[in-house]
Structure 1
Amino acid sequence: MKIAKGLMPFLLFILMSVTFLTGCSHVDKTDVEAVITNELNLLKNLDSDTTQKYVSYKELFPDTTQEIELSKEIKEVFSLFFRDFDYKIRNVDVDNDTKEASVSLQLSTLDARTLAKDYAQASLETAILKAAASDTSATEETTDSLEERYLIIDSLLKKSKYETVTRDCTMTLQNTGTDHDEWEIQRSHSLENDLVGGLISYLSDNNLLSPEETLTIYLNTLKSMNTEQMGNYLGIESLLNTSDSDKNSIASALVEQVHQNFDFKITNCEEQGYAATVSTTITTFDSASILNTFSQEQDAYLSSADAVIDGSEKRYQKSLEMLLNDIKNNTANITSTADFHLTNDGVSWKLDDSNTTIGNAIFGTLSNSPVSEETEDADSSEDDSYAQESED
């Protein structure tokens, strides 16, 4: 077959053009891949400057108000986070007209959702214990300190081994110059979130912990409190927050009863918008049984001649001793139902009026001391009259 002489130059031109364009596209893709490989390998190699370039330290907690200098511990957080980081380039698309490239990747990161839930739990526990350390009726509030938040994550990453998960990611690059190799990755909130496995979006999820999970943290944290913390947090001042050594002994005995008997089971949860009601069965020491035993012993003692001889001060001391023994010797517990109300403030679920609700559920009828100094002092005048009549 013969080709017309005039057609030959045209075909050669077309062939050369296609070869040129194909070659350019191939070079562009290679350059794009080289840029991504170089940058992401720095993340794999735990390069701190690259980490800060793509993932802002404040981006994880945008609501923090306290600015700080990045400490060694905070910088180490992302080194721990990216220690198992890996990636795979799946496809590269180059648009020579717009000088843009779109790259689809598969990223391998630690399980950021589990880390975020662990952080939310640890943060709430810390806030509850911080409130319990104050005797000024403080409520649990998450800290505004960026450093404190990162230290919690640092602790979690050091003590736990998280599974590796994969997620799809799309990177956009822009050719910023006339040369083909001048490609630059375009930073975005979405890219930052993808590089940390979605951790940014998980931490900002106000439903990350359900109402049931939130209540569980409140109650389990309470079980770990000592006498002073429990007294401060629950506000049961007449029993758990006193400088009186005898009352302190009673308070400690009550808290020990809590540690021995307290348990709970969540039976139901109803959510309506930003409000939730969690129904539980609460098992705790039987305060009514303790008070009944104490009342019988006290009545028997007060009707005896010894009570008159002892006088008001000793009688008051004797009543405290009886109450303390009854608490220590108690083996009875009781299970009852209790409803807890929670509100979602747009950040997380919070327990409404937690001090009163939990205090009543745990201590029941022993939320106030059955032994009163005032009552004993008032009775002393009657005892003096009784003693005088006996002498007559």
Structure 2
Amino acid sequence: MNINKHLILLFSVLFFLFAVSVSSGCFRKNESDVKSVVRNELDQLKNLDSETTQKYIPYTELFPDATENTDLTDEINKTFSLFFRKFNYKISDVIVGTTNHSATVSVKLTTIDSKVLARDFKAELLRTQITESAQAQKGNIKDSSRSLEAHYLILNHLLNTNDYDTAETDCNIQLVNTGNDKKEKWKIQRTNSLEDDLVGGLIADLADPDILSPEDTLTVYLDTLQKLDLKEMTSYLGVVNIMNTSDTAKNSIASALAEQIHKNFNYVIKSSSENGYNATVTTEITTFDSDSILADYQEKLDKYLASADAVIDGSQKRYEKSFEILLNSINDNTVTTVNDVDFVLINDGVSWKLQDEGNTLGNAIFGTLTDSPLETSDSEDENISADTDKQTDDNTSTESSSN
């Protein structure tokens, strides 16, 4: 009897151990199946499979603010290939739900440092928009920077020309069992969070309105300004509008002023402050001394107008001479001035933008030359003409009286 009891107890223990072993084996099999599904998908990303890439990261999702969509082109595919060339992963944990209906896989993803890439992209996009704005104002209408294709071309250029460091992201991948008790079928749940994790947070970084700080934004404006050619610069800053003269005079003086900027312009950002959606960046601006140019111009003009030549030359020649004097004063200037300028930027929820950019930069750089000194000389010329006419009338009256 005791033997039977011992046998029953022994069989019970063995059955329990067998059941645990079977259950554990099934559990391990489930873990293995789940891990296999995740590995298969991530390996395809690692091997630059464009179809898998688009399954998890639709190419239109990366730049939702683009105004013009385009079909999936080879350039876009190449961009994703460039981004994922450093992609890697390591599965750290697998948890299968007790009902075997769901699972979570913890993965450490290695991608390109998306924050640095996003910052570079926003800066390059702003440079392109500033340049296009300058070109549009001089008659070359172009607004391609807002299209989806242009966004990817910029990203492609950055990935081709820069060797970005990598960054690690902890990611939890959720799976659901869409099969049945006889045959399991694990499927990864695609979510916005997973999309962003797979690109190292690039989607969130690109959407961050503060990815470029007010100081960074102003730096892009000022650096781009220095690289514009003469026509683009004069157009963007409105220099052509400063000179109320004929087209030839406008172009010559505007070009001379732009050349002064290229030779003398420099800046140092000293401080910044933010108040909600507004920011003020105090910047030390070094530029040509417009007061010195005007003083030299006025001195030489006064000397000319006081001469007999000014009376003899007549109105048209006096105007041409005053223009020549101004142009020489600009070209001969070597004096610079240093002033602190407060630039105001506004965040519109997309990015920081310089308020009234063209006029703000123009006023900071041109100073007192924002009004044409030729207008003053025109008034003086009218006075000279009036004095000359009066003198002629007086002489005529005297001669008539004598007769």
Letter in 2 for 1:26: R
- Measured after TM superposition, the shift of residue 116 of structure 1 is 0.1
- The answer to whether the Cα contact below 8 Å between 1:103 and 1:171 also exists between their aligned partners in 2 is yes
Distance 1:76 1:279 in 2: 42
Cα displacement string for residues 126-182 of structure 1 (whole angstroms, at most 9, x for unaligned residues): 1112222223999x9995421121111111111111111111111111121135652
User: Residue type matched to 1:133 in 2?
Assistant: Q
AA aligned opposite 1:183: W
SS of aligned partner of 1:301:
helix
CA distance in 2, matches of 1:118, 1:83: 19
Q: Name the SS of the counterpart of 2:373 in structure 1.
A: coil
Structure showing greater Rg: 2
Native 8 Å contact 1:123 1:142 kept in 2: no
**Displacement of 1:6:** 2.1
Amino acid at match of 1:58: T
Matching residue of 1:304: 307
* Residues 311, 388 of structure 2: 8 Å contact kept: yes
Partner of 2:152: 150
Q: In the aligned structure 1, how far is the partner of 2:243 from the partner of 2:52? A: 52
- Alignment equivalent of 1:103, drawn from 91, 105, 109: 105
1:200 and 2:203 are equivalent in the alignment: yes
**Among 267, 272, 282, which residue is 1:269 paired with?**
272
Letter in 2 for 1:234: L
Partner of 2:286: 283
Q: Which of 241, 251, 260 matches 1:238?
A: 241
Structure 2 residue corresponding to 1:113, chosen from 112, 115, 118: 115
> What is the RMSD of the two structures over their aligned residues, measured on CA atoms?
2.6
2:244/2:374 contact within 8 Å kept: no
Alignment check: 8 A CA contact 2:45 2:53 kept = yes
Which residue identity is paired with 1:255?
Answer: A
Distance (whole Å) between structure 1 residues aligned to residue 244 and residue 102 of structure 2? 67
Question: 2:234–2:258: 8 Å Cα contact kept in structure 1?
Answer: no
Tell me which residue corresponds to 2:134: 132
CA shift for structure 1 position 288: 0.2
Q: Are the equivalent residues in 2 in contact too, given 1:239–1:250 (CA < 8 A)?
A: no
Structure with bigger helix share is 2
Q: 1:91 to 1:98 in 2, by over 3 A?
A: same
Q: Secondary structure at the match of 2:136?
A: coil
Q: Which amino acid aligns with 2:226?
A: K
Match of 2:254 in 1: 251
- Is contact 2:128-2:145 (8 Å) kept? no
Task: Pick closer, same or farther for the CA change 1:257–1:115 going to 2, 3 Å.
Answer: same
Could you tell me which of 347, 367, 380 is aligned with 2:385? 380
Deviation at 1:379, TM superposition (A): 4.0
Q: Deviations over 1:255-280 (max 9, x none)?
A: 01011111111111111111111111
Point out the more displaced range, 181-190 or 279-288: 181-190
Say which SS state the counterpart of residue 35 (structure 1) adopts.
helix
Contact 1:231 / 1:240 at 8 angstroms: preserved in 2?
no
Is 2:260–2:288's contact at 8 Å kept on the other side of the alignment?
Answer: yes
1:60 aligned to which of 62, 87, 91: 62
Give the alignment partner of residue 344 of structure 2, picking from 341, 352, 359: 341
Whether 1:361 and 2:394 are equivalent positions in the alignment is no
8 A Cα contact 1:44 1:82, kept in partner: yes
Tell me which of 225, 231, 235 is aligned to 1:222. Answer: 225
Q: Aligned with 2:38: secondary structure? A: helix
Q: Is the 8 A contact 1:227 1:240 kept in 2?
A: no
Asked if the contact 1:232–1:241 (Cα under 8 Å) also holds between the matched residues in 2, the reply is no
Matches within 5 A, 1:294-333: 294-333=297-336
Inter-CA distance 304–232: structure 2 relative to 1 (3 Å threshold): same
Structure 2 unmatched runs, 5+: none
The CA deviation string for residues 266-300 of structure 1, in whole angstroms up to 9 with x for no partner, is 11111111111111111110000010001000100
Shift in Å, 1:211 = 1.0
Give 1:72's aligned residue: 74
Q: Distance in 1 between matches of 2:28 and 2:183?
A: 11
Among candidates 208, 212, 215, match of residue 212 of structure 1: 215
Q: Deviations over 1:328-361 (max 9, x none)?
A: 1111000011111111111111111222221111
Q: CA, structure 1 residues 181+84, in 2 after alignment: closer, same or farther (shift >3 Å)?
A: farther
Equivalent residue in structure 1 for 2:178, among 158, 161, 176: 176
Structure 2 contact 215–272 (Cα < 8 Å) conserved: yes
Q: Secondary structure at the match of 2:170?
A: strand
Q: In the alignment, is residue 49 of structure 1 matched against residue 43 of structure 2?
A: no
**1:388: Cα distance to partner?**
7.3
Count of aligned pairs between the two proteins: 391
Instruction: Please give the TM-score of this superposition, normalised by the length of structure 1.
Output: 0.92
After superposition, the Cα gap between the structure-2 partners of 1:382 and 1:70, relative to the gap in structure 1 and judged at 3 Å, is: farther
Contact 1:227-1:252 at 8 Å conserved across structures: yes
Partner of 1:209, secondary structure, is: coil
- Give the 3 Å change call, closer, same or farther, for CA 142–244 of structure 1 in structure 2: closer
Q: Distance in 2 between matches of 1:367 and 1:311?
A: 28
- Name the CA distance, whole Å, in 2 between partners of 1:344 and 1:142: 23
